[in-house]
Protein backbone atom coordinates (compact mmCIF):
# COMPACT_ATOMS: atom_id res chain seq x y z
CA UNK A 1 0.00 0.00 0.00
CA UNK A 2 1.30 3.45 -0.86
CA UNK A 3 1.84 5.83 2.01
CA UNK A 4 1.14 9.14 0.26
CA UNK A 5 2.60 11.20 3.09
CA UNK A 6 6.00 9.70 2.32
CA UNK A 7 5.77 9.86 -1.48
CA UNK A 8 8.92 11.01 -3.27
CA UNK A 9 7.93 12.34 -6.69
CA UNK A 10 11.24 14.14 -7.28
CA UNK A 11 13.30 11.03 -6.49
CA UNK A 12 10.97 8.98 -8.68
CA UNK A 13 11.32 11.43 -11.57
CA UNK A 14 15.12 11.51 -11.28
CA UNK A 15 15.21 7.70 -11.04
CA UNK A 16 13.04 7.37 -14.14
CA UNK A 17 15.27 9.76 -16.06
CA UNK A 18 18.38 7.84 -14.99
CA UNK A 19 16.82 4.54 -16.10
CA UNK A 20 15.90 6.10 -19.45
CA UNK A 21 19.43 7.44 -19.94
CA UNK A 22 20.98 4.08 -18.96
CA UNK A 23 18.85 2.01 -21.36
CA UNK A 24 19.44 4.57 -24.12
CA UNK A 25 23.22 4.40 -23.64
CA UNK A 26 23.15 0.59 -23.69
CA UNK A 27 21.15 0.36 -26.91
CA UNK A 28 22.93 3.22 -28.68
CA UNK A 29 26.49 2.18 -27.87
CA UNK A 30 26.14 -1.58 -27.46
CA UNK A 31 23.05 -2.40 -29.52
CA UNK A 32 21.62 -4.36 -26.59
CA UNK A 33 18.24 -4.07 -24.85
CA UNK A 34 18.39 -3.53 -21.10
CA UNK A 35 16.22 -6.49 -20.18
CA UNK A 36 17.44 -7.68 -16.80
CA UNK A 37 16.31 -11.28 -17.24
CA UNK A 38 18.10 -11.50 -20.59
CA UNK A 39 21.25 -9.92 -19.21
CA UNK A 40 21.29 -12.29 -16.23
CA UNK A 41 20.44 -15.24 -18.48
CA UNK A 42 23.46 -14.44 -20.65
CA UNK A 43 25.71 -14.57 -17.59
CA UNK A 44 24.24 -17.87 -16.45
CA UNK A 45 24.69 -19.39 -19.93
CA UNK A 46 28.33 -18.19 -19.86
CA UNK A 47 28.39 -16.50 -23.23
CA UNK A 48 32.09 -15.61 -23.16
CA UNK A 49 31.93 -13.10 -26.03
CA UNK A 50 29.72 -10.65 -24.16
CA UNK A 51 29.93 -11.57 -20.49
CA UNK A 52 31.93 -8.44 -19.57
CA UNK A 53 29.25 -5.83 -20.18
CA UNK A 54 26.63 -8.11 -18.62
CA UNK A 55 28.63 -8.45 -15.39
CA UNK A 56 29.27 -4.70 -15.29
CA UNK A 57 25.57 -3.98 -15.80
CA UNK A 58 24.58 -6.36 -12.98
CA UNK A 59 27.34 -4.94 -10.76
CA UNK A 60 25.85 -1.49 -11.37
CA UNK A 61 22.47 -2.74 -10.17
CA UNK A 62 24.06 -4.00 -6.96
CA UNK A 63 26.33 -1.02 -6.32
CA UNK A 64 23.84 1.77 -7.09
CA UNK A 65 21.87 1.41 -3.82
CA UNK A 66 25.14 1.62 -1.90
CA UNK A 67 26.03 4.86 -3.68
CA UNK A 68 22.50 6.18 -3.15
CA UNK A 69 22.72 5.40 0.58
CA UNK A 70 25.75 7.69 0.89
CA UNK A 71 23.56 10.67 0.04
CA UNK A 72 20.07 9.60 1.10
CA UNK A 73 18.47 7.21 3.57
CA UNK A 74 17.33 3.98 1.98
CA UNK A 75 13.61 3.28 2.32
CA UNK A 76 12.59 0.70 4.87
CA UNK A 77 11.47 -2.59 3.36
CA UNK A 78 8.76 -4.51 5.18
CA UNK A 79 7.79 -7.95 3.93
CA UNK A 80 4.36 -8.90 5.17
CA UNK A 81 4.79 -12.36 3.67
CA UNK A 82 7.12 -15.06 4.89
CA UNK A 83 10.44 -15.91 3.31
CA UNK A 84 8.99 -18.96 1.52
CA UNK A 85 6.29 -16.83 -0.08
CA UNK A 86 8.84 -14.31 -1.32
CA UNK A 87 11.10 -17.11 -2.61
CA UNK A 88 8.19 -18.81 -4.38
CA UNK A 89 7.07 -15.51 -5.89
CA UNK A 90 10.59 -14.83 -7.16
CA UNK A 91 10.81 -18.24 -8.77
CA UNK A 92 7.41 -17.78 -10.43
CA UNK A 93 8.45 -14.37 -11.76
CA UNK A 94 11.64 -15.92 -13.13
CA UNK A 95 9.62 -18.67 -14.81
CA UNK A 96 7.26 -16.06 -16.25
CA UNK A 97 10.14 -14.09 -17.75
CA UNK A 98 11.30 -17.22 -19.56
CA UNK A 99 7.81 -17.90 -20.96
CA UNK A 100 7.27 -14.23 -21.80
CA UNK A 101 10.67 -13.91 -23.48
CA UNK A 102 11.64 -11.09 -21.17
CA UNK A 103 10.73 -9.03 -18.15
CA UNK A 104 9.17 -5.66 -17.45
CA UNK A 105 12.47 -3.85 -17.97
CA UNK A 106 13.03 -5.37 -21.40
CA UNK A 107 9.43 -5.25 -22.61
CA UNK A 108 8.02 -2.39 -20.52
CA UNK A 109 10.84 0.10 -20.78
CA UNK A 110 12.78 -0.82 -23.89
CA UNK A 111 10.18 -2.64 -25.98
CA UNK A 112 7.36 -0.15 -25.61
CA UNK A 113 9.72 2.76 -26.30
CA UNK A 114 10.61 1.01 -29.58
CA UNK A 115 6.87 0.72 -30.35
CA UNK A 116 6.92 -3.08 -30.18
CA UNK A 117 3.39 -4.52 -30.20
CA UNK A 118 4.74 -7.75 -28.71
CA UNK A 119 6.25 -5.82 -25.80
CA UNK A 120 3.04 -3.85 -25.28
CA UNK A 121 1.02 -7.09 -25.08
CA UNK A 122 3.62 -8.68 -22.78
CA UNK A 123 3.64 -5.67 -20.45
CA UNK A 124 -0.16 -5.56 -20.31
CA UNK A 125 -0.11 -9.28 -19.49
CA UNK A 126 2.45 -8.73 -16.69
CA UNK A 127 0.38 -5.94 -15.20
CA UNK A 128 -2.89 -7.84 -15.47
CA UNK A 129 -1.30 -10.89 -13.82
CA UNK A 130 -0.09 -8.64 -11.00
CA UNK A 131 -3.53 -7.08 -10.49
CA UNK A 132 -5.22 -10.49 -10.48
CA UNK A 133 -2.63 -11.90 -8.05
CA UNK A 134 -3.07 -9.00 -5.62
CA UNK A 135 -6.85 -9.27 -5.85
CA UNK A 136 -6.79 -13.01 -5.15
CA UNK A 137 -4.25 -12.84 -2.33
CA UNK A 138 -5.79 -9.80 -0.62
CA UNK A 139 -9.50 -10.30 -1.21
CA UNK A 140 -10.23 -13.97 -1.87
CA UNK A 141 -7.72 -15.90 0.24
Average pLDDT, the chain: 85
**What are the domain boundaries of the chain?**
8-140
Q: Which is higher by pLDDT, 77 or 51? A: 51
pTM of model > 0.85: no
The reported pLDDT for the residue numbered 1 is 62
How many of the other CB atoms lie within 10 Å of CB of 137? 12
- As a whole number, mean pLDDT of residues 31-35 equals 84
Q: At what angle do helices 83-99 and 36-44 cross, to 10 degrees?
A: 90
Q: Is the pLDDT of residue 117 over 90?
A: yes
Of 131, 129, 85, 125, residue with least CA distance to 101: 125
Of 81, 98, 83, residue with least CA distance to 133: 81
In the chain, the percentage of residues whose pLDDT exceeds 70 is 97
Amino acid sequence: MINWTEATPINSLVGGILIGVAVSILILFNGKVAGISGILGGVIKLKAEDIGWRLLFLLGLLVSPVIYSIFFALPKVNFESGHWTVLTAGLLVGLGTRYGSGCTSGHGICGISRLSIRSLVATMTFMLAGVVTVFITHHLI
